[in-house]
């Protein structure tokens, strides 16, 4: 059992998930001082934190520590370089707080536009100052989004009902993706010059510190509203102070140099201030805890390393696609049968995934090979395949097929020395949801690989689905979702049934024999 220490106030779902997994012993305590917890749990394998500082001293106090998980996006409180020097991987959970922050941006815009805070205080005092609180509407305004990651895209989505025009600046996002989310890409100078509202969603680093500069602020419209729910250091506060007096800039702020009580340097220029409430929702806390636990399990069991922030992993590769790559490979392995010997893996990565083909090797190898070391680097995965005598080909893709951000995995395995079995599976991710879109000749499936799922391949004829349903019902198994495509060329059908519990081999074999299925298996994704 590997010990996980959670010395912070984190939703209990993390402990529940890890405990249910069976491979972890969890110690969660947010009342005992960290120093005491480090002494009590010196055998800690993984440390979950929120805003707690993980210094070199903390790391040295835990000689068995291998993973630190930040339940949130920012990891500036963790000494990632020292952790790397000790062979410790540091992960964060980007996206867990995204919706909470996006909604906060909208809330601050509306509150300021309609003077909600000041009008409430005035009315409570018995006053009736309607003339002083003339507001403005968001409808029809131009919204500039600096940084089109998780949060920036969600801000656009949440504000889309206001019929706004969206301008975006992000050096990484593709024009195709920008069109999909309804934002017009432009230069940062044009964005600042044309926007009525500017929402900042970029990290603070050596390149972005002081990003909102005097030069940019000189170009803004009079009365523009700037919202900062990102990082305090990206704004040149003195330049903003000047712009408030010359351009009547309004400034809504939720981030500070230090998250603590005390005077704030922007108090004189902020029209609305919140105590860093961006991620402070019950839902965000739940998501962060849930993802922290799931990411640790995926890291250990599947070799998913996309959220390790102190490894040389490229930015822009989302966790969902690593999970998709693993699910596709695992499905391929089950279809050809785990009793066969893999000979050839072929992959195709479409859209913006192509540059990350190398980094998706490990979850694919992990899905196919049970004895793969699932924390391998891409190079180590390739060496593993060479050692196992399995060929791997990353095919040149035809982007005209318009399989936007899709992955295809083909697996050829030897049934015996003279016969091979081949399977091809394709999938994608839509709004954060994995979808299997094709299995061999059965296309446009679009089923979500989650939970226990049954697969039956059979010669098409009436009554088969009814028989399957009846036999599952007799076994007390409920069907929650189903796909049943038919291929007219082969006269074969594929039944894909999501069920409420894992189906044992005895029941599966009975159904297979009753419907004379060519193949039948159960997977728990």
Clarify whether residues 102 and 87 are in a common domain: no
Q: Is residue 320 part of a domain?
A: no
**pLDDT of 205 over the 90 cut:** no
Clarify whether residues 192 and 299 are in a common domain: no
Residue 48 token pair: 């979950």
Q: What is the side-by-side order of every strand in the sheet holding 406-416?
A: 391-394, 341-349, 406-416, 419-430, 433-439, 442-447
Give the separation between CA 202 and CA 208, rounded to whole angstroms: 8
Taking the model in full, what pTM does it have? Answer: 0.60
Clarify whether residues 386 and 337 are in a common domain: yes
In this predicted model, what pLDDT tens digit does every residue of 452-510 receive, in sequence order? 999 999 999 999 999 999 999 999 999 999 999 999 999 999 999 999 999 999 999 99
Q: How many domains does the chain have?
A: 3
Clarify whether residues 122 and 152 are in a common domain: yes
Residue 358, SS3 per DSSP: helix
Clarify whether residues 44 and 127 are in a common domain: no
Q: At what angle do helices 319-336 and 361-368 cross, to 10 degrees?
A: 30
Residue 224 token pair: 């523009």
In this predicted model, what pLDDT tens digit does every residue of 354-393 receive, in sequence order? 888 988 988 899 888 875 655 566 777 887 788 778 899 9
- pLDDT at position 76, please? 77
Q: Is residue 260 part of a domain?
A: yes
- pLDDT at position 372, please? 66
Place of tokens 């408030």: 244
Clarify whether residues 379 and 235 are in a common domain: no
Q: What confidence category does residue 245 fall into, taking pLDDT thresholds of 50, 70 and 90? A: very high
Clarify whether residues 295 and 421 are in a common domain: no
Domain that holds residue 505: 328-524
What average pLDDT does range 345-352 have in this prediction?
94
What CATH number corresponds to the domain at position 57? Answer: 3.40.50.720
Q: What is the pLDDT of the chain when averaged over all its residues?
A: 91
Q: Is residue 278 part of a domain?
A: no
Number of CB atoms found within 10 A of residue 234's CB: 22
Of residues 331, 523, 352, the one with CA closest to residue 437: 331
- pLDDT at position 371, please? 59
Q: Is residue 492 part of a domain?
A: yes
What average pLDDT does range 278-282 have in this prediction?
90
260 or 120, greater pLDDT? 120
Give the separation between CA 188 and CA 169, rounded to whole angstroms: 6
Q: Is residue 128 part of a domain?
A: yes
Spatial CB neighbours of 423, under 8 Å, sequence gap ≥ 6: 332, 335, 336, 410, 411, 439, 440
Give the separation between CA 279 and CA 63, rounded to whole angstroms: 32
Clarify whether residues 263 and 292 are in a common domain: no
- pLDDT at position 215, please? 95
Q: Is residue 261 part of a domain?
A: yes
In this predicted model, what pLDDT tens digit does every residue of 156-185 receive, in sequence order? 999 999 999 999 998 657 667 788 899 998
What CATH number corresponds to the domain at position 490? Answer: 3.30.70.260
Q: Do 7 and 29 meet the contact criterion of CB atoms below 8 Å apart?
A: yes
Clarify whether residues 247 and 176 are in a common domain: yes
In this predicted model, what pLDDT tens digit does every residue of 42-100 receive, in sequence order? 999 999 998 889 999 999 999 999 999 999 877 878 998 899 889 899 999 877 888 99
Q: Is residue 507 part of a domain?
A: yes
Q: Do 242 and 214 meet the contact criterion of CB atoms below 8 Å apart?
A: yes
- pLDDT at position 260, please? 82
- pLDDT at position 77, please? 85
- pLDDT at position 443, please? 93
Q: Is residue 323 part of a domain?
A: no
Clarify whether residues 305 and 333 are in a common domain: no
**pLDDT of 402 over the 90 cut:** no
Q: What confidence category does residue 395 fall into, taking pLDDT thresholds of 50, 70 and 90? A: very high
**pLDDT of 346 over the 80 cut:** yes
Give the separation between CA 68 and CA 299, rounded to whole angstroms: 12
What average pLDDT does range 6-34 have in this prediction?
95
Clarify whether residues 119 and 263 are in a common domain: yes
Residue 394 token pair: 């990353």
Q: What confidence category does residue 416 fall into, taking pLDDT thresholds of 50, 70 and 90? A: confident
Q: What confidence category does residue 314 fall into, taking pLDDT thresholds of 50, 70 and 90? A: low
Clarify whether residues 84 and 105 are in a common domain: no
Q: How large a percentage of the chain has pLDDT more than 70?
A: 96
């Amino acid at each position: 059992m590997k010990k996980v220490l959670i010395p912070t106030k984190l939703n209990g779902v993390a402990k529940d998930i890890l405990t249910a997994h069976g491979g972890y012993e969890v110690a969660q305590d947010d009342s005992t001082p960290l120093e005491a917890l480090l002494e009590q749990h010196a055998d800690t394998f993984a440390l979950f934190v929120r805003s707690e500082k993980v210094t070199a001293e903390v790391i040295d106090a835990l000689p068995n520590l291998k993973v630190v998980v930040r339940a949130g996006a920012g990891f500036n409180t963790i000494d990632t370089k020292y952790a790397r020097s000790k062979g410790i991987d540091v992960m964060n959970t980007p996206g867990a707080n995204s919706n909470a922050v996006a909604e906060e941006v909208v809330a601050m815009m509306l509150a300021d536009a309609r003077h909600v805070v000041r009008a409430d205080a005035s009315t409570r005092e018995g006053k009736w100052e309607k003339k002083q609180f003339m507001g403005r509407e968001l409808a029809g305004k131009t919204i500039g989004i600096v940084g089109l990651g998780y949060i920036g895209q969600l801000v656009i989505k949440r504000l889309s009902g206001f019929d706004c025009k969206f301008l975006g600046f992000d050096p990484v996002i593709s024009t195709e993706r920008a069109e999909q989310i309804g934002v017009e890409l432009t230069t940062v100078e044009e964005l600042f010059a044309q926007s009525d509202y500017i929402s900042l969603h970029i990290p603070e680093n050596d390149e972005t510190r002081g990003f909102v500069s005097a030069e940019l602020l000189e170009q803004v419209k009079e009365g523009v509203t700037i919202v900062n729910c990102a990082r305090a250091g990206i704004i040149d506060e003195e330049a903003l102070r000047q712009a408030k007096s010359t351009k009547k800039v309004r400034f809504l702020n939720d981030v500070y140099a230090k998250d603590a009580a005390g005077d704030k340097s922007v108090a004189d220029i902020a029209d609305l201030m919140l105590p860093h409430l961006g991620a402070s929702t019950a839902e965000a806390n739940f998501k962060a805890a849930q993802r922290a636990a799931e990411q640790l399990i995926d890291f250990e069991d599947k070799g998913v390393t996309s959220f390790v922030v102190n490894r040389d992993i490229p930015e822009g590769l989302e966790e969902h696609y690593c999970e998709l790559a693993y699910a596709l490979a695992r499905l391929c392995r089950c279809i050809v049968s785990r009793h066969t010997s893999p000979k050839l893996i072929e992959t195709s990565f479409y859209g913006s995934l192509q540059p990350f083909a190398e980094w998706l090797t490990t979850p694919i190898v992990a899905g196919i090979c049970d004895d793969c070391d699932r924390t391998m680097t891409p190079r180590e995965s390739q060496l593993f395949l060479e050692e196992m005598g399995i060929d791997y080909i990353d095919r040149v893709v035809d982007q005209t097929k318009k399989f936007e951000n899709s992955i295809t995995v083909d697996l050829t395995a030897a049934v015996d020395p003279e016969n091979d079995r081949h399977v091809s599976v394709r999938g994608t991710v839509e709004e954060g949801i994995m979808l299997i879109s094709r299995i061999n000749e059965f296309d446009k499936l679009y089923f979500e690989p989650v939970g226990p799922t049954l697969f039956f391949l059979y010669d098409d004829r009436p009554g088969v689905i009814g028989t399957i349903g009846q036999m599952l019902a007799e076994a007390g198994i409920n069907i929650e979702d189903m796909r049943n495509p038919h291929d007219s060329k082969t006269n074969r059908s594929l039944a894909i049934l999501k069920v409420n519990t894992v189906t044992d081999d005895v029941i599966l074999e009975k159904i297979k024999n009753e419907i004379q299925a060519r193949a039948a298996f159960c997977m728990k994704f």
